[in-house]
């Protein structure tokens, strides 16, 4: 018995010794490679196990491994993961992590409703710009300018602060879905985007992702061109912030301050940003100024629940820039800075316009609040929800004059109250099958009228034109020209609005449901997405109503719609993947399409009772190597059954009475895209892109006239646009970019972009297309631009925990002279005057010459 006991004790001792010998103690320090600072909260996991630890505040860790040798995976949010081998007890020393260019490891609140490409195994055509790149390149530009070096993106600056436009695969912003942390932000009435309302979003953007074409969006959104996801900061891992001062061309200055508490022990995290900017504008008489604010309150209830409340806004005003005939720009002492608005008149005392601001100014404030909730139900399922609301208040203000004397500032007000919720449930059915389903609900009330924003040389404004059967007198001013004042001092009194211009409201209610099923096994993946939606429209007319203050309500219009998308991918090996996606959208017309004159009449447009039809097919190839990655895409998109319209005031009573529509318009867009990223050395990175497209109209359209008050629509002519090129966006773009680290913390970068096959915008009702033998769209001269930047980061403080960063951007270094767009298609005929092959009678806008901005940023 004694020998047996001794044998058992010896066996146990040997087993314990074996286990102890099979374990190791591995330690190290995780460092941010760019700023040479520790990364607290980095994750270290023993590969193939759940055994792991996080780094402490100084970036240090010690991990007792389950095996004596193996590999560790080191990762951190927004940085490229690395894998290191260990054998026995070892100190790995400093482990450098570098910021990556993907979103694979970004964990933010609301991730379940933000449709990022990395959320799905089946690839799409996508480009992603991360926070460090946004910080460097954004400068004092709008978001579209940040995206111009990605395939099939064309941008125009349009002359005024925040007036930039983006075209994606030839489709304008109304046909591209923009999302802010999962919240749709395109205008509910017409799909438009006004970047002046979002001027501060890039200051807090974690990433911007452009999904071209069908994309991976699960929402009930039928975007033709693609989807742009703007992802902002929410719950920061660590405490810190920055102070930044920026200067730029033409008197531009911007001051910004940001601070985050990081995720505190009590589960709270608070972030706040405030900025102020002003500038004179590149184009004559386009001064502007505004503020940006951002507040984020995060709370990690426990490991399963995270909440985040965000409030952001960008109150601003900016003067407008107008286009003009090309010959006007060419006149002596004008040039490309010329403002096309009429510059004659008397200067108003408060600089509304008439000489100083010839086109008036945009004054707007649109605070947006959303509440995100992420619930990890269990290891297999989760629920993400965002509840949001926004109050838009603002006007386009112009001064009015009488006998050469400025009398008052008239505001064309466009207000709204917008509330919505997006929710998405995700379930991993098994290791091969993933399913999610959700809802998208939006309630929108738009309010549109003209009123007195400011009295200048008079105390009241009267008019004897029709309004409730008689004259009226306006004695109160509302809003002024201050965006903060216009938010809290809006005009809710119909009797104090200017008539008979316009005074109406609309209510748009939208309900959508969506779902996705994705199957993945071995090297193959496939998905199916579907959505269905219904939206109702009710319009209330006050300006031409016979019932004072109550208005006349239109009939309710209900439009159902749906979309389906499916695709598959095959991973040839670890480096090569091919994919094919297709989709069909039955897209409801916008509210602005439903009424023959959306500003002054409840009469329905008889041609807008059918949905638009969008069909898309795309194929792609992805190569991911150690030093080179390549994305290639081919696409074919048909946009059919679209109606365009216009109106005319034939009896000069300030009320449109004749309306023009077209028969269904069909566009066909197809092309190819190539994007290449290389890291030739640790210090040199190169990237390039190429986009070749053919975007044109398929078939002629019939012009149709409708008279207000009834009567059948009448055909009045044909617009021969069959084969005409779609305008405003270059159908050939290419670019090369380089980033080189000259010395530690000191680097330079440059981008060269080429634009070709840029055509004038087709005007269906214009005389250019009234002849069946017309020459189609005019082609504008090709051009190229070169942008460059220099960055230097100076490490400060104990252990280099703080830094001072300097950045200089110079855009269009060689001051290339080019036409940004043309609103007309007048060809050069015998005897016509031309500039670089373009008839000088065309209405155009030149692009900006050389511009610059310099920033100094203190990070702490």
- In tens, the pLDDT along 507-550 reads 999 999 999 999 999 899 999 999 999 999 999 988 777 666 57
Summarised one tens digit per residue, pLDDT across range 373-399 is: 989 999 899 999 999 999 999 999 988
Contact yes or no for 372/424 (Cβ under 8 A)? no
| Residue 344 pLDDT | 41
CATH number assigned to the domain covering 240-859: 2.40.170.20
Kind and range of the H or E element at 396? strand 381-402
Asked whether the predicted pLDDT for residue 620 surpasses 80, the reply is yes
628 vs 247, more confident: 247
Summarised one tens digit per residue, pLDDT across range 667-689 is: 999 999 999 988 888 788 899 99
| Residue 440 pLDDT | 93
- Rounded-to-integer distance, Cα 415 and Cα 187, Å: 11
Within 10 Å of residue 164's Cβ, how many Cβ atoms?
Answer: 23
- Rounded-to-integer distance, Cα 182 and Cα 193, Å: 16
Q: Place 124 in a pLDDT band, splitting at 50, 70 and 90.
A: confident
Asked whether the predicted pLDDT for residue 21 surpasses 50, the reply is no
Domain limits of the chain? 2-97, 117-232, 240-859
Contact yes or no for 479/453 (Cβ under 8 A)? yes
Summarised one tens digit per residue, pLDDT across range 787-845 is: 999 999 888 877 667 889 999 999 999 999 999 999 999 999 999 999 999 999 999 99
| Residue 313 pLDDT | 93
Kind and range of the H or E element at 156? strand 153-156
DSSP codes joined into one string, 492-507: --GGGS-TTT-EEEEE
| Residue 346 pLDDT | 37
| Residue 605 pLDDT | 76
| Residue 856 pLDDT | 96
- Rounded-to-integer distance, Cα 762 and Cα 775, Å: 12
- Rounded-to-integer distance, Cα 769 and Cα 665, Å: 14
Pairing mode, if any, of strands 240-248 and 268-279? unpaired
Kind and range of the H or E element at 468? none
User: How many Å is the Cα radius of gyration of the chain?
Assistant: 30
Contact yes or no for 150/225 (Cβ under 8 A)? no
| Residue 345 pLDDT | 38
| CATH for 2-97 (3.40.50.1370, 2.60.40.10, 2.10.109.10, 3.30.565.10) | 2.60.40.10
| Exposed/middle/buried for residue 288 (C-beta within 10 Å: 0-12, 13-18, 19+) | buried
What is the pLDDT of the chain when averaged over all its residues? Answer: 85
Fold of 117-232: Ferric Hydroxamate Uptake Protein; Chain A, domain 1 (2.170.130)
Any idea what the Cα angle at residue 153 is, between residues 806 and 161, rounded to 5°?
55
Beta bridge partners of 427: 381, 435
Which of 310, 293, 296, 207 has its CA nearest to residue 255? 293
DSSP SS3 for 208? strand
Q: Place 14 in a pLDDT band, splitting at 50, 70 and 90.
A: very low
E strands of 152-251, at which residues? 153-156, 165-168, 176-180, 183-184, 205-212, 226-232, 240-248
| Residue 753 pLDDT | 97
Contact yes or no for 369/306 (Cβ under 8 A)? no
| Exposed/middle/buried for residue 804 (C-beta within 10 Å: 0-12, 13-18, 19+) | middle
Contacts of 755 (CB under 8 A, 6+ apart): 154, 730, 732, 733, 782, 783, 784, 785, 818
Contacts of 120 (CB under 8 A, 6+ apart): 216, 516, 518, 527
Asked whether the predicted pLDDT for residue 480 surpasses 50, the reply is yes
């Amino acid at each position: 018995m004694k020998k047996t006991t001794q044998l058992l004790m010896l066996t146990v001792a040997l087993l314990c010794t074996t286990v102890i010998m099979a374990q190791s103690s591995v330690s190290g320090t995780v460092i941010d490679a760019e700023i040479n600072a520790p990364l607290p909260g980095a994750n270290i996991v023993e590969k193939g196990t759940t055994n792991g630890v996080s780094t402490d505040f100084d970036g240090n860790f010690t991990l007792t491994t389950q095996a004596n040798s193996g590999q560790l995976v080191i990762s951190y949010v927004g940085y490229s993961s690395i894998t290191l081998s260990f054998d026995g007890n070892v100190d790995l020393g400093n482990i450098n992590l570098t910021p990556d260019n993907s979103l694979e490891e970004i964990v933010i609140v609301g991730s379940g409703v933000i449709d990022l490409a990395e959320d799905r195994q089946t690839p799409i055509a996508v480009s992603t710009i991360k926070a460090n790149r946004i910080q460097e390149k954004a400068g004092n530009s709008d978001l579209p300018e940040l995206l111009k070096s990605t395939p099939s993106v064309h941008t125009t600056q349009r002359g005024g602060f925040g007036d930039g436009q983006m075209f994606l695969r030839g489709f304008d912003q109304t046909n591209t879905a923009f999302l802010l942390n999962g919240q749709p932000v395109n205008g509910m009435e017409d799909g438009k985007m006004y970047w002046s309302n979002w001027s501060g979003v890039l200051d807090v953007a974690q990433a911007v992702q452009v999904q071209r074409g069908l994309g991976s969006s699960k929402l009930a959104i039928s975007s033709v061109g693609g989807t742009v996801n703007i992802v902002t900061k929410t719950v920061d891992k660590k405490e810190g912030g920055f102070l930044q001062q920026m200067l730029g061309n033409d008197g531009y200055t911007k001051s910004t301050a940001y601070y985050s508490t990081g995720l505190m022990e009590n589960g709270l995290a608070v972030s706040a940003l405030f900025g102020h900017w002003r500038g004179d504008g590149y184009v004559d008489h386009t001064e502007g100024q505004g503020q940006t604010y951002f507040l984020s309150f995060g709370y990690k209830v426990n490991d399963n629940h995270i909440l985040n409340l965000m409030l952001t806004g960008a109150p601003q005003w900016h003067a407008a820039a107008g286009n003009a005939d090309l010959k006007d720009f060419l006149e002596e002492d004008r040039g490309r800075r010329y403002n096309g608005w009429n510059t004659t008149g008397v200067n108003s005392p408060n600089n509304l316009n008439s000489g100083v601001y010839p086109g008036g100014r945009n004054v707007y404030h649109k605070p947006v609040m959303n509440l995100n909730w992420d619930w990890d139900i269990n290891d297999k399922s989760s629920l993400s929800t965002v509840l949001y609301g926004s109050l838009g208040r603002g006007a386009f203000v112009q001064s009015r004059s009488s006998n050469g004397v400025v009398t008052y500032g008239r505001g064309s007000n466009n207000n709204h109250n917008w509330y919505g919720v997006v929710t998405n449930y995700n379930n991993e059915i098994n290791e091969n099958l993933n399913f999610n389903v959700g809802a998208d609900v939006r309630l929108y009330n738009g309010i549109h009228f003209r009123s007195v924003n400011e009295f200048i040389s008079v105390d009241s404004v009267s008019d004897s034109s029709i309004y409730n059967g008689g004259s009226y007198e306006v004695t109160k001013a509302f809003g002024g020209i201050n965006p903060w004042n216009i938010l809290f001092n809006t005009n809710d009194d119909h009797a104090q609005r200017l008539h008979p211009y316009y005074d109406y409201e609309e209510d748009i209610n939208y309900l959508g449901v969506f779902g996705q099923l994705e199957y993945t096994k071995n090297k193959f993946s496939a998905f199916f997405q579907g959505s269905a939606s219904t939206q109702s429209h009710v319009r209330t007319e006050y300006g031409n109503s016979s019932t004072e203050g109550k208005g006349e309500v239109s009939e309710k219009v209900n439009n159902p719609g749906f979309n389906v998308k499916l695709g598959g991918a095959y991973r040839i090996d670890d480096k090569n993947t091919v994919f094919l996606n297709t989709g069909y959208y039955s897209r409801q017309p916008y509210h602005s399409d439903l009424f023959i004159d959306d500003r002054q009449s409840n009469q329905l447009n008889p041609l807008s009772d059918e949905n638009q039809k969008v069909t898309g097919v795309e194929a792609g190839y992805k190569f991911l190597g150690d030093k080179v990655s390549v994305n290639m895409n081919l696409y074919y998109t048909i946009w059919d059954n679209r109606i365009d319209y216009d109106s005319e005031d034939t009896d000069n009573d300030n009320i449109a009475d004749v309306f023009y529509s077209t028969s269904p318009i069909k566009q066909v867009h197809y092309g190819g895209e190539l994007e290449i990223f290389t890291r030739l050395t640790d210090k040199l990175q190169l990237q390039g892109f190429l986009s070749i497209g053919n975007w044109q109209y398929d078939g002629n359209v019939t012009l149709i006239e409708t008279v207000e008050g009834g009567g059948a629509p009448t055909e009045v002519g044909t617009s021969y646009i069959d084969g005409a090129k779609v305008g405003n966006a270059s159908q050939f773009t290419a670019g090369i970019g380089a980033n080189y680290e000259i010395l530690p913390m000191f680097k330079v970068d440059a981008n060269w972009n080429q634009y070709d096959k840029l055509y004038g915008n087709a005007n269906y009702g214009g005389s250019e297309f009234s002849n069946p033998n017309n020459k189609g769209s005019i082609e504008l001269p090709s051009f190229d631009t070169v942008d460059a930047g220099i960055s230097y980061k100076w490490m400060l403080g104990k252990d280099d925990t703080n830094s001072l960063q300097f950045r200089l951007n110079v855009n269009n270094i060689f001051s290339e002279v080019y036409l940004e767009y043309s609103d007309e298609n007048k060809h050069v005929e015998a005897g016509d005057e031309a500039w670089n092959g373009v008839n000088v009678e065309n209405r155009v806008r030149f692009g900006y010459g050389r511009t610059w901005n310099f920033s100094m940023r203190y990070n702490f």
